Structure 1
Amino acid sequence: MKLKEDLSPVLLLVFHLAVWIYSFLSFLPSVFLGWMSTLDDDDGVRYGSEEDRAKRMKACSEPGRPEGPYRAVRATKRLEATLRPGVQTLDKMFELAARRFPHRHCLGTREVISEADERQGNGKLFKKVILGEYRWLSYQDVFSAASQLGSGLASLGQRQKNNIAIFCETRAEWIVAAQACFMHNFPVVTLYSTLGGPAIAHGLNETQVTHIFTSKELLETRLKAILIEVPRLQHIIVVDDSPSSWPGYPPGISVHNMAAVQELGARPENASRDRNPPLASDIAVIMYTSGSTGIPKGVMISHGNIIAGLTGMAERIPNLNEEDTYIGYLPLAHVLELSAELVGMAHGCRIGYSSPQTLSDQSTKIKKGSKGDTSVLQPTLMAAVPEIMDRIYKNVMLKVEEMSCVQRTLFILAYNYKLEQLSRGNSTPLCDKLVFRKVRSLLGGRIRVLLSGGAPLSAVTQRFMNVCFCCPVGQGYGLTETCGAGTISELWDYSTGRVGGPLVCCEMKLKDWVEGGYRSTDKPNPRGEILVGGPNVTMGYYKNGSKNEDFFVDESGQRWFCTGDIGEFHKDGCLKIIDRKKDLVKLQAGEYVSLGKVEAMLKNCPLVDNICAYANSDETYVIGFVVPNQKQLLALVDQYGIRGSCEDLYSSEAVEELVLKTLTEAALEAQLERFEIPRKICLSPEPWTPEMGLVTDAFKLKRKELKTHYQDDIERMYGGK
């Protein structure tokens, strides 16, 4: 999507002339450098324009039928399930990595130099930090630490095939603990650090956990309050260095420092114990979902499942090697982050840890004038959920609006020039260096691949990342139930709105959903519910037989999962997600509304930071809860002369009407049907965060919790019904 700006004809003429001169002078070097650039596929073949690349087959229906199954063109003979010959379990995978890259950096953590409370303009106190350089553990260091930790856990009574939990923020110790468990065949139960007390207790009790890893903060703020509800729990291992003793805990519960458990495992009598390594069919992880549709479900994932998923992902990231640096900040309890880190470790990458609050120089916890994690680490690989990329896009565009007329015009012309060159299959190395270098530096300046998952990424944001961050965005589709593996777009394919073809580890087919009006016989493209089959499809839900109806095994013995998502396959084998069964609501007059589709369209509006569409089947129209962009909202009300405090503005009917008018215009431009457009809205003064319990750690909407939170507003917007 091109950027627009109203400029005088003379000014436009001057800048167009400058761009023409630039294009003429940079033509030869751009052709030379572009020929060597990353718009090639990993066979080194160039495919020219977007139109040419879209014709290249990514997948095809193996039997030739519109419903599939569809396979990647490189996996038409068989589905691939191993990264390395004979390596079928996670302990073997990391053991091989430690042998190949013993002295290379593996896991890095930034040193905290100082912390201080800083008072904001609204009177609130925010903790700000100054961080130093990264301190690194080598692959050999991590392997030794994990081996000792596993032996220490065994000395504390942890037995193989007995579940052990990790309830901790994303950090190096999380991965060390997980590797220790993989080595000793202790199935890892993962719990989001933002889960509430009842959900934590449910997961621990259901899996009968006796040992748990956690941090000092989570122990004191979350876990301690529910210990009485988890009678089986005996040992708590705290990953922080201090304190060394933990008084005041109930009888029968021992609290240990992780370092002390490692020391216990290093004792000769414990280190020499024989361990029985896991089989590919053994459970590696019981991953609890974030609970977006109710009580979290534990997905049983075997070693073989994860290895297969990693195999598919690795094939779509070209030239993945030990020179790469990955920045880890998404929840490791989420399959996207865990898979990304494991596939990086299998190839000798180094992983530096961060958090959403310290990611960039402008992040909320970084003291003004000091550097965020991306500036110091300068990663080459990064995974992000669309919510984070949407924020980056909107923040940069706000900065563009604040530029002088000349600067803004230069940026817009450079943006549109590069967009045109990308569509032709050309790179713009000089333009990247002169215009987009500053924007690219927001993420360290060296990102070569961005992986997007967790939710659909808007075309506007994807184009922006392609242009301004000078790297391809691999948009993917997968679920916890498929180890996060399903599809990832080829990095030379710059088309938007699609998620690529199936990975080499799985295949997909479409199942008719008559109630929603989707059939594999639809023209021009077959449509239906997406079914994923292959060795990456997991073992089912833990102690939840009623939910396992979504899994089935076909006549050839292959396992399948019914995703509940609606997709369509394009002629080149790329998948597009177009709907979700659970998001579909039938209005009183009989129209079907896809709430997810409405939200995806309206989130492109600069005024919207987040939105939840809601519809009641007894009503004739859609309503919405909106988190507006504060800066855009204040500019809008100022334009109409509306005054008042922030609290007054967010509760003002006049302001709601103004925002609704802007949303309606955006909806019509996005070609939503009239019945799909929210007729009434409620403004939220606070952004929805995982800590509030209204979104998951991957920033997916928790519709049930949002409905409860806004129940009074729902009744008001529906006239008290």
Structure 2
Amino acid sequence: MRVQSWGLANLALEKSLGQPVQLDLQSFRSSSSDDFQALSGMTTLNKEAIEAQWAAHIDKQMVPVPGSKEQGFTDIYKNAAFPDVPTSTSAYDAFLKGYSMDPNAPCLGHRPWDEAKGDLADHFQWRTYADTETERTALGSAMSMWVEKGMLNSRPNEKGEVDEPGMIDFSVAYWGANRPEASVMALALNAYSRCAISLYDNYDAAISCYILNHSKSRVLFTTSSYVPLVLRSADKLPWLRVLVILDQVCSKNVAHGEIKKEQLMREWASSFGIQTFSYHEVVEQGLSSPRPHIVPTDPDHVDALCYTSGTTGLPKASKVTTGNCGLGVEGLRYVVPDTKMVSISYLPLAHILERGWELFIIRQGGCIGYYSGSIDRLIEDLQILKPTALPSVPRVLNRIATQIEGQLQAPGLKGFLLRRAVSAKLRNYEETGAITHPIWDRLVFRKVRAMLGGRISVVFTGSAPCRPDVLKLLRIALCTDIREAYGQTENSAYATFMAPHDRNLGSVGPVNPGLEVRLRDCPELGYTSQDKPYPRGEILFRGKTVFIGYDGDEKKTQETLLEGADGHGPWLLTGDVGQIDEYNRIQIIDRVKNLVKLAQGEYIAIERVEGVFASLPLAQQLWLYGDSYQPHLVAVCVPEPEPFAEFASRIKKSKISATDQKALEEAAKDPAVVEAVLREFISLGKRQKLGTLEQMRGLKLRMEPFSPENGLMTPTLKVKRQEAAKQLKSDLDELYSHPPYDLSKVNDSKL
């Protein structure tokens, strides 16, 4: 790894004061729950001891709490290996702990622009922990100065009233792609007891302005590309007073038009009483007059409002408190015991998963490299960064697995060796659980690992179920322990995590250390705590990571939290249906509210059935549809290009390339190809013992993926079912104009 100090803070301070300065930040820190000087002497958890403790409880990974059984519920369960977490760490202390390990270690990195190449550089440039500490204090100090000068007062309302913020608790938002400045901003807000707001970079203007208005954000950090979207609605944003532009300072050779453009932007904002600064200007302001940190001490202090993406309606603002952050940061050390990891940031910063994971990496003294901003260049970023940890989602892992599966069919020696290697390693994995091999790893899988940088030791996936066959293939191909996790915005994404080296796939693991879980009967769905062989019901969590409610929405809060009869705090109603398997792990099997009533009056658990069909390797995306006016289910599928090209080539008896978009689109409209794919889905449904009414009876193929940009998915890549039904109405009408496909034409063997 190339470590190059960012050095921004001291350079800016020297420029503003005209002389070199050594800033004594210790004098500006407030005391926190841990003594700062003692942090450097902390002992780290022993990875081998932790994994041994997990291994000792691998057959029963959760234990029931004695005397906790109630009518309509299962027992309360806790983690068997680590029932409790003895300490809790605030976000503020998490950074200090990472800082104390080595202030000069790399913390936040990015690929700088290479003027000579006219492209991004082939290395990462790093802010050290000391740089980050200096910079966050500068940002927080500048905002304190703005409060003192009245710069953050709201515009007068119709009565002439002005809302003045205090020194703490006002909201500051970030809108843009992943970049180090966003994380420095979040650390700064936490150091001064202010509330962080993050917007998905693919939000449209309407939703973004709704969030800025709902959160009463006084300051917005963003790039110049988003400024016009904001300013067109500025008259509806009375609380927004300052824009901080993150674009890099223009070079000396920039055209005059660019300078005029920047000046025009500032004048446009000024017409609404909104002041505009560059990021560097804000840092210089704060460094000229540093202010003491104001650290939150109340566990219920709201550190952030995390807006849920929601498949229907406007986003809800989940309150993320100081106490919510603390348990997850410490608890993960028992689940992912690797220390000082190198991780890449590419999952949305507005998502609670990315927020929590970055804080955990920092608490461990590790470093975070921010991707280039383009998913198309993610592999390039990984190969340059060479991370040791990779947070992921099934969509990314499925694509990697598809590439490997495609290479398995390659002719000649290359394909032969890969097939032999995969076969040997899978057989060895089934027999022993081993994911490494002394010969095949060196001959074959070294190149597969190199695709992700060659050093990956921790991979986890969440947000949606991942097919067991994909997890198994990637475990032996990447030679690493890939695990599924489960969580929600409302529990700070800290709920369950597969145990280390658990080779029995198909679950999301046991409840995380420090939390409690139980299932609640769902008689209307036929799920109860008395079901055999496994108890089933809605998953409920309790513990410090459970949120305190939605900001400004008491009704939704009451619908989501259930007070416990034992007086030990509320339970989070997840809306997910699970079962506790033979290893006392949680398997997610359904959603409480996603029932579809067909014309016969029968109910279908649409997402559970959809999950079965989505496991077909041909499917990149699948949307299953049904309603009470129709007697059967139909579906819209976006095929995975490479396997679909090969499949369609066999049906059409002519070669189709996976990169030939026109040929793929023509194949997707070919009735013979569509019928062949539908038969694959039906065959899969029969093998998975789906009922007749659960089977797919009509199919539409489209090559354009569902995405946030076309309004068919949320920013967290969940299908907007109601919006899909509106946009694809003509496709649904066409599917239902034909009789349902005859299931007797398809047997339950692979075609």
TM-score (norm 1): 0.85
Aligned pair 1:139/2:129, yes or no?
Answer: yes
- Which region of structure 1 is more displaced relative to structure 2, 241-250 or 500-509? 241-250
- Number of aligned residues: 648
What's the CA shift for 1:648? 4.0
Q: Deviations over 1:25-55 (max 9, x none)?
A: xxxxxxxxxxxxx9977344795xxxx9852
What's the CA shift for 1:417? 2.0
What's the CA shift for 1:654? 3.9
Q: Deviations over 1:443-495 (max 9, x none)?
A: 11111110111111111111111111111112111100000011001112122
What's the CA shift for 1:56? 4.4
2:599 pairs with one of 568, 583, 588: 588
In 2, Cα distance between the equivalents of 1:418 and 1:399? 16
Contact residue 184 and residue 278 of structure 1 kept, 8 A = no
In 2, Cα distance between the equivalents of 1:129 and 1:505? 46
In 1, Cα distance between the equivalents of 2:109 and 2:127? 6
Query: Residues 92, 216 of structure 1: CA spacing in aligned structure 2 closer, same or farther, 3 A cutoff?
Result: same
SS in structure 1 at match of 2:504: coil
In structure 2, what is the equivalent of residue 16 of structure 1?
Answer: none
What's the CA shift for 1:255? 1.7
Question: Quick one: which amino acid aligns to residue 108 of structure 1?
Answer: G
SS in structure 1 at match of 2:305: strand
In structure 1, what is the equivalent of residue 475 of structure 2?
Answer: 466
1:628 pairs with one of 628, 632, 639: 639
Query: Residues 533, 691 of structure 1: CA spacing in aligned structure 2 closer, same or farther, 3 A cutoff?
Result: same
What's the CA shift for 1:642? 7.5
SS in structure 2 at match of 1:264: helix
Aligned pair 1:251/2:272, yes or no?
Answer: yes
Aligned pair 1:704/2:722, yes or no?
Answer: yes
In structure 1, what is the equivalent of residue 200 of structure 2?
Answer: 192
2:404 pairs with one of 383, 393, 396: 396
In structure 2, what is the equivalent of residue 12 of structure 1?
Answer: none
1:55 pairs with one of 54, 59, 72: 59
Q: Deviations over 1:645-678 (max 9, x none)?
A: 5544434444332321232223333333332222
In structure 1, what is the equivalent of residue 630 of structure 2?
Answer: 619
Contact residue 192 and residue 293 of structure 2 kept, 8 A = no
Question: Quick one: which amino acid aligns to residue 153 of structure 1?
Answer: M
SS in structure 1 at match of 2:479: coil
What's the CA shift for 1:177? 0.4
In 1, Cα distance between the equivalents of 2:734 and 2:49? 54
Question: Quick one: which amino acid aligns to residue 57 of structure 1?
Answer: Q
In 1, Cα distance between the equivalents of 2:116 and 2:406? 30
What's the CA shift for 1:355? 5.2
In 1, Cα distance between the equivalents of 2:683 and 2:47? 36
TM-score (norm 2): 0.81
In structure 1, what is the equivalent of residue 361 of structure 2?
Answer: 344
In 2, Cα distance between the equivalents of 1:491 and 1:652? 46
Residue ranges of structure 2 left out of the alignment (5+ in a row): 1-45, 153-166, 251-261, 655-661, 740-751
In structure 2, what is the equivalent of residue 182 of structure 1?
Answer: 190
2:696 pairs with one of 672, 675, 678: 678
In 2, Cα distance between the equivalents of 1:212 and 1:103? 30
In 1, Cα distance between the equivalents of 2:700 and 2:515? 43
- Which region of structure 1 is more displaced relative to structure 2, 410-419 or 164-173? 410-419
In structure 2, what is the equivalent of residue 380 of structure 1?
Answer: 388
What's the CA shift for 1:232? 2.3
Contact residue 196 and residue 304 of structure 2 kept, 8 A = yes
Query: Residues 91, 54 of structure 1: CA spacing in aligned structure 2 closer, same or farther, 3 A cutoff?
Result: closer
5 Å matches for 1:413-562?
413-423=420-430, 424-430=432-438, 431-548=440-557, 549-554=559-564, 555-562=566-573
In 2, Cα distance between the equivalents of 1:101 and 1:493? 34
Alignment root-mean-square deviation, CA: 2.6
In 1, Cα distance between the equivalents of 2:181 and 2:138? 13
Contact residue 343 and residue 367 of structure 2 kept, 8 A = yes
5 Å matches for 1:655-666?
655-666=673-684
In 1, Cα distance between the equivalents of 2:366 and 2:182? 17
1:641 pairs with one of 642, 652, 655: 652
In structure 1, what is the equivalent of residue 113 of structure 2?
Answer: 112
In structure 1, what is the equivalent of residue 21 of structure 2?
Answer: none
Contact residue 169 and residue 331 of structure 1 kept, 8 A = yes
Q: Deviations over 1:474-533 (max 9, x none)?
A: 211110000001100111212211011111121101100011100000011110000010
Contact residue 40 and residue 46 of structure 1 kept, 8 A = no
In 2, Cα distance between the equivalents of 1:355 and 1:583? 37
SS in structure 2 at match of 1:133: coil
Query: Residues 694, 332 of structure 1: CA spacing in aligned structure 2 closer, same or farther, 3 A cutoff?
Result: same
In 1, Cα distance between the equivalents of 2:226 and 2:49? 45
In structure 2, what is the equivalent of residue 98 of structure 1?
Answer: 99
- Which region of structure 1 is more displaced relative to structure 2, 466-475 or 412-421? 412-421
In 2, Cα distance between the equivalents of 1:63 and 1:409? 58
Query: Residues 265, 609 of structure 1: CA spacing in aligned structure 2 closer, same or farther, 3 A cutoff?
Result: same
Q: Deviations over 1:342-365 (max 9, x none)?
A: 00100101111115735xxxxx34
2:85 pairs with one of 80, 96, 104: 80
What's the CA shift for 1:130? 4.7
Contact residue 107 and residue 366 of structure 2 kept, 8 A = yes
SS in structure 1 at match of 2:122: strand
Contact residue 435 and residue 476 of structure 2 kept, 8 A = no
In 2, Cα distance between the equivalents of 1:556 and 1:288? 29
In structure 2, what is the equivalent of residue 210 of structure 1?
Answer: 218
Q: Deviations over 1:585-635 (max 9, x none)?
A: 232224332222233222332321111111112221111111112333343
Query: Residues 553, 625 of structure 1: CA spacing in aligned structure 2 closer, same or farther, 3 A cutoff?
Result: same
In 2, Cα distance between the equivalents of 1:528 and 1:276? 41
In structure 2, what is the equivalent of residue 264 of structure 1?
Answer: 285
In 1, Cα distance between the equivalents of 2:273 and 2:681? 57
Residue ranges of structure 1 left out of the alignment (5+ in a row): 1-37, 117-127, 359-363
- Which region of structure 1 is more displaced relative to structure 2, 455-464 or 66-75? 66-75
What's the CA shift for 1:229? 3.0
In 1, Cα distance between the equivalents of 2:62 and 2:419? 33
1:312 pairs with one of 320, 324, 331: 331
SS in structure 2 at match of 1:456: coil
Query: Residues 457, 60 of structure 1: CA spacing in aligned structure 2 closer, same or farther, 3 A cutoff?
Result: farther
SS in structure 2 at match of 1:617: coil
- Which region of structure 1 is more displaced relative to structure 2, 538-547 or 603-612? 603-612
In structure 2, what is the equivalent of residue 228 of structure 1?
Answer: 235
In 1, Cα distance between the equivalents of 2:639 and 2:181? 37
What's the CA shift for 1:337? 0.9
Query: Residues 129, 465 of structure 1: CA spacing in aligned structure 2 closer, same or farther, 3 A cutoff?
Result: farther
Contact residue 460 and residue 485 of structure 2 kept, 8 A = yes
Question: Quick one: which amino acid aligns to residue 184 of structure 1?
Answer: Y
Query: Residues 612, 41 of structure 1: CA spacing in aligned structure 2 closer, same or farther, 3 A cutoff?
Result: farther
Contact residue 309 and residue 483 of structure 1 kept, 8 A = yes
In 1, Cα distance between the equivalents of 2:146 and 2:612? 53
What's the CA shift for 1:187? 0.8
Query: Residues 105, 39 of structure 1: CA spacing in aligned structure 2 closer, same or farther, 3 A cutoff?
Result: closer
In 2, Cα distance between the equivalents of 1:421 and 1:284? 48
In 1, Cα distance between the equivalents of 2:710 and 2:119? 23
In structure 2, what is the equivalent of residue 292 of structure 1?
Answer: 311
In 2, Cα distance between the equivalents of 1:274 and 1:439? 46
What's the CA shift for 1:281? 1.8
Contact residue 285 and residue 300 of structure 1 kept, 8 A = yes
What's the CA shift for 1:641? 3.1
Identical residues among aligned pairs (%): 27
What's the CA shift for 1:225? 3.6
Q: Deviations over 1:326-351 (max 9, x none)?
A: 11110111111111110010010111
User: Could you say which structure has the greater relative contact order, defined with CA pairs below 8 angstroms and 6 or more residues apart?
Assistant: 1
In 1, Cα distance between the equivalents of 2:282 and 2:47? 49
In 1, Cα distance between the equivalents of 2:291 and 2:496? 43
Contact residue 81 and residue 535 of structure 1 kept, 8 A = no
